[in-house]
Amino acid sequence: MGSVKAPVRILIVGTGNMANTHAKAYAAHPEAQIVGAVDLDETRVQNFCQTHSIDRSFTSLEDAIAWGGFDAVSNVTPDAAHYPTTKTLIAAGKDVLCEKPLATSHAHAQDLAELAQTAGIKNMVNLSYRNVPVVQEAARLVAAGEIGACRHFEASYLQSWLTQPAWGDWRTGSEWLWRLSEAHGSKGVLGDVGIHILDFVSHVAGSTAAHVSCQLRTFDKAPDNRIGDYTLDANDSCVMTVGLQNGALGVVSASRFASGHLNDLRLRLYGDQGGIEAAFENGTGRLRTCTGDDLEPQVWRDRTVKGGYDLFDRFLTSVQTRAPCQPDFATGAQLQAVLDAAEASHAQGSLQINLPT
């Protein structure tokens, strides 16, 4: 008779908006038990614990570690806090699922990747669009040679929350205003959603970036570009030319001013034997290919895609089995190198920045 695995005891660090997604995912999973939550704001963490029926709340990470009654952590703190909090958790020997980006600089992200490897902890970055089945199937088809050698791509991540209030009024909500302010830890649309579309490209194409050239733009949004304590100086739109290690060349764009697009991702990837289009728009995935006998008549066919894996499940399985999991901190560090290069390129007049092979 086989032994019954004990649920993974989860601590959630940071109880802002995205933490609710983590809490719901764990609550629905039979192998997880949320045992505590941490936030510097005592009222917020207590309300979060009450909403999700969590027994213990802490206002310092050090107090939670001193208690120690948890196996793994979801780090859902603001971007600028990812590095110090994750470093502390690694030192405590805890497995960590960290929200993207892993850090706000490649140096810090690489440090976390190396520390995690040395400590032997299980580590993952929540690049959540890898959960989309069409993304998983597109990556599988490309890896299987469906389109041949990758040559060209076009990728975009389009949001419109600066032009309409479907997600709430950004002018009055701190959960939105901080994303527009460098002083509050924001890297703008590049750091917030640019990382997702870069991962979309590299994951499906099966290749990381070799070089990047980037332009960033910040638009006037309020008198003196300021609302209360928030200076609205983070970038709102970005356009990048990206070359991959496999030789493919393409354009990657992201914007919060994309009227008509609530939260839409799209990738067109072309190879020497066919093309593939993967999209996640209005919450619905779509996958089309033009390969084989369809190439000459230029016929695109929709592909049926079944359900795929879930990153929370993968993380929990890794914690229990001690098997490696993807996307790990090393992947997060690779992506942060591209983001840093994009910022450097913009600062130098869209100069092409080469990345390590």
Beta pairing, strands 230-231 & 237-244: unpaired
- The Cα–Cα gap between 193 and 347 comes to 20
**Residue 1: per-residue pLDDT:** 39
Q: 119 with 154, same domain?
A: no
The domain tally of the chain equals 2
Among the candidates 128, 159, 181, a domain finishes at 128
- For residue 91, the domain's CATH number is 3.40.50.720
pLDDT at residue 102, as a whole number: 96
Q: Would you say residue 266 lies in a domain?
A: yes
The pLDDT of residue 3 is above 60: no
Domain extent at residue 21:
8-128
Is residue 188 in some structural domain? yes
Q: Are residues 110 and 217 in the same domain?
A: no
- Both 240 and 347 in one domain: the answer is yes
Specify whether 176 is located in the same domain as 83.
no
| Of 170, 162, 164, 140, nearest in space to 230 by CA | 170
58 and 156 belong to one structural domain: no
4 pLDDT exceeds 60?
no
Together in a domain, 122 and 133: no
pTM of the complete model:
0.94
Decide if 3 is inside a domain. no
Per-residue confidence (pLDDT) for residue 307, from 0 to 100: 85
Confidence label for 39 from pLDDT (cuts 50, 70 and 90): very high
Whether residue 246 lies inside any domain: the answer is yes
CA angle 266, 210, 346 (to 5 degrees): 75
Q: Is residue 65's pLDDT more than 60? A: yes
Q: Is residue 1 situated within a structural domain?
A: no
Q: Residue 342's closest CA among 177, 217, 163, 200? A: 217
Q: How high is the pLDDT of residue 357?
A: 80
User: Are 93 and 202 contained in the same domain?
Assistant: no
Say yes or no: 23 and 110 in one domain.
yes
Q: Are residues 108 and 169 in the same domain?
A: no
Cα–Cα distance for residue pair 170/167, rounded to 1 Å:
8
Does residue 271 sit in the same domain as residue 216?
Answer: yes
- Judge if 336 and 193 occupy the same domain: yes
Distance CA 313, CA 128 (A): 12
Q: Predicted confidence band at 255 (pLDDT cuts at 50, 70, 90)?
A: very high
Written as one string, the DSSP assignment of 211-248 is EEEEEEE----SGGGEETTEE--S-SEEEEEEEETTS-
- Tokens (6 digits) for 74: 């979801």
pLDDT at residue 328 greater than cutoff 90: yes
Mean pLDDT of the chain: 96
CATH code of the domain in which 135 resides: 3.30.360.10
Q: What is the pLDDT of residue 132?
A: 96
- Same-domain status, 83 and 110: yes
